[in-house]
Amino acid sequence: MWEYLIVDLPSFEPPTHAPGASAAVHALNEEGALGWEAVGMTPLADGRVAVLFKRPRRQ
The per-residue pLDDT for 20 is 60
- pLDDT in the model for residue 35: 97
pLDDT for residue 19: 67
pTM score, two decimals?
A: 0.80
10-residue mean pLDDT profile of the chain (59 residues): values are 94 69 86 97 89 93
What is the rounded CA–CA span in Å between residue 9 and residue 31?
11
Position 25 scores a pLDDT of 85
Closest residue by Cα to residue 50 from 11, 6, 17: 6
